[in-house]
Amino acid sequence: MAPHADSPADQDVVQLEAPPRPPMSSNPPRILIIGAGSRGNAYARATGRSTNGIVVAVAEPIPYKRQRLGEAYIWGKSGPSEGQSFDDWKSFLSYELDRRERASRGEEVSEGVDAVFICTLDEQHMEVIVGLAELDLHVMCEKPLATTLEDCVKIYKALSPSEGKQKKIFSIGHVLRYSPHNMLLRKLLLEERIVGDVLSVNHTEPVGWWHFTHSYVRGNWRKESTTAPSLLTKSCHDIDLLLWLLCSPPPNSDKTAHIPTTVSSAGFLQYFNKSRKPTAAGDATNCLSCPIEKSCKYSAKKIYLGPDHKGLASGNTNWPVDIVLPEIEECISIKGQAGGEAALTAKLEEDYTTSTPATEVSSKNYFGRCVYEADNDVCDDQTVTLTWENDPLSSLSDPEKALQGRGAKTAIFHMVAHTRKICERYTHIYGTDGEIYADSTTITVEDFNTGATKIYKPHMAGGGHGGGDDGLARQFILAIDRVKNQGCEVERAQREEVGCSLEEVVRSHALVFCAEEARRGKTVVDWGNWWEKMVEGELGR
pLDDT in tens, 307-347: 998 999 999 999 999 999 999 999 999 999 999 999 999 99
DSSP annotation string for 151-217:
HHHHHHHHHSPBTTB--S-EEE--GGGGSHHHHHHHIIIIIS-TTSSEEEEEEEEE--HHHHIIIII
Helix (H, G, I), strand (E, B) or coil at 106: coil
Q: How far apart are CA 139 and CA 117, in angstroms?
A: 6
Q: How far apart are CA 533 and CA 149, in angstroms?
A: 12
Contact 422, 303 (CB under 8 A): no
Angle at 512 between CA 511 and CA 515, to 5 degrees: 85
Alpha carbon distances (Å) from 379 to 225, 228, 234, 270, 329: 13, 11, 11, 7, 34
Q: What is the rounded average pLDDT of the residues 450-461? A: 88
Which regions of the chain carry the CATH code 3.40.50.720? 30-175
Contact 305, 316 (CB under 8 A): no
Contact 58, 87 (CB under 8 A): no
Which regions of the chain carry the CATH code 3.30.360.10? 197-271+377-431+501-539
Angle at 244 between CA 242 and CA 248, to 5 degrees: 125
Write down the pLDDT at residue 58: 98
Q: What is the rounded average pLDDT of the residues 51-58? A: 97
Q: What are phi and psi of 227, to 5 degrees?
A: -130, -95
pLDDT in tens, 371-412: 999 999 999 999 999 999 998 776 556 666 667 888 999 999
Helix/strand/coil (H, E, C) string of 463-487? CCHHHHHHHHHHHHHHHHHHHHHHC
Q: What are phi and psi of 382, to 5 degrees?
A: -155, 145
**466 pLDDT above the threshold of 90:** no
Write down the pLDDT at residue 110: 93
pLDDT averaged over every residue in the chain: 92
CA 167 to chain centre: 25
Question: Domain 197-271+377-431+501-539, what architecture?
Answer: 2-Layer Sandwich (3.30)
**9 pLDDT above the threshold of 50:** no
**463 pLDDT above the threshold of 70:** no
Q: What is the rounded average pLDDT of the residues 425-446? A: 96
CATH class, 30-175 region: alpha beta
Q: What is the rounded average pLDDT of the residues 502-507? A: 95
Q: How far apart are CA 239 and CA 86, in angstroms?
A: 35
Helix/strand/coil (H, E, C) string of 228-284? CCHHHHCCHHHHHHHHHHHCCCCCCCCCCCCCCCEEEEEEECCCCCHHHCCHHHCCC
Write down the pLDDT at residue 15: 64
Contact 387, 261 (CB under 8 A): yes
Write down the pLDDT at residue 468: 85
Q: How far apart are CA 136 and CA 114, in angstroms?
A: 9
Is 401 or 258 the better-scoring residue by pLDDT? 258
Q: What is the rounded average pLDDT of the residues 467-482? A: 93
Write down the pLDDT at residue 6: 45
**518 pLDDT above the threshold of 80:** yes
Q: What share of the chain in percent tops pLDDT 90?
A: 82
Write down the pLDDT at residue 78: 93
Q: How far apart are CA 349 and CA 343, in angstroms?
A: 10
pLDDT in tens, 200-211: 999 999 999 999
Q: What is the rounded average pLDDT of the residues 46-73? A: 95
φ/ψ region of 196 (left if φ > 0, alpha if ψ in -120 to 50, else beta) reads: left
Q: Indicate the DSSP class of residue 497.
A: I
Beta-strand runs (E) in 16-88: 30-34, 54-59, 85-86
Alpha carbon distances (Å) from 511 to 157, 232, 265, 417, 527: 18, 10, 11, 21, 8
pLDDT tier, 4 (very low <50, low <70, confident <90, very high otherwise): very low
Annotate 246-258 with b (16+ C-beta within 10 A) or e (fewer).
bbbeeeeeeeebb
Q: What's the order of all strands across the beta sheet hosting 54-59?
A: 85-86, 54-59, 30-34, 115-118, 138-141, 170-172
**50 pLDDT above the threshold of 60:** yes
**71 pLDDT above the threshold of 50:** yes
Write down the pLDDT at residue 331: 96
**2 pLDDT above the threshold of 60:** no
Helix (H, G, I), strand (E, B) or coil at 403: coil
**100 pLDDT above the threshold of 50:** yes
Q: What is this structure's pTM?
A: 0.92
Is 256 or 44 the better-scoring residue by pLDDT? 44
Q: In angstroms, how far apart are the furthest CA atoms of the chain?
A: 76
pLDDT tier, 1 (very low <50, low <70, confident <90, very high otherwise): very low
Please, what is the end-to-end C-alpha distance for the chain in angstroms? Answer: 47
Write down the pLDDT at residue 8: 44
Beta-strand runs (E) in 79-134: 85-86, 115-118
Q: What is the rounded average pLDDT of the residues 432-452? A: 96
pLDDT tier, 11 (very low <50, low <70, confident <90, very high otherwise): low
Write down the pLDDT at residue 254: 80
Write down the pLDDT at residue 7: 43
Write down the pLDDT at residue 394: 61
Q: How far apart are CA 426 and CA 438, in angstroms?
A: 6
Q: How far apart are CA 188 and CA 186, in angstroms?
A: 5
Write down the pLDDT at residue 443: 96
**362 pLDDT above the threshold of 80:** yes
Helices (H), 268-409: 300, 321-324, 328-349, 358-363
pLDDT tier, 301 (very low <50, low <70, confident <90, very high otherwise): very high
pLDDT tier, 25 (very low <50, low <70, confident <90, very high otherwise): confident
**162 pLDDT above the threshold of 60:** yes
Q: What is the rounded average pLDDT of the residues 108-130? A: 96
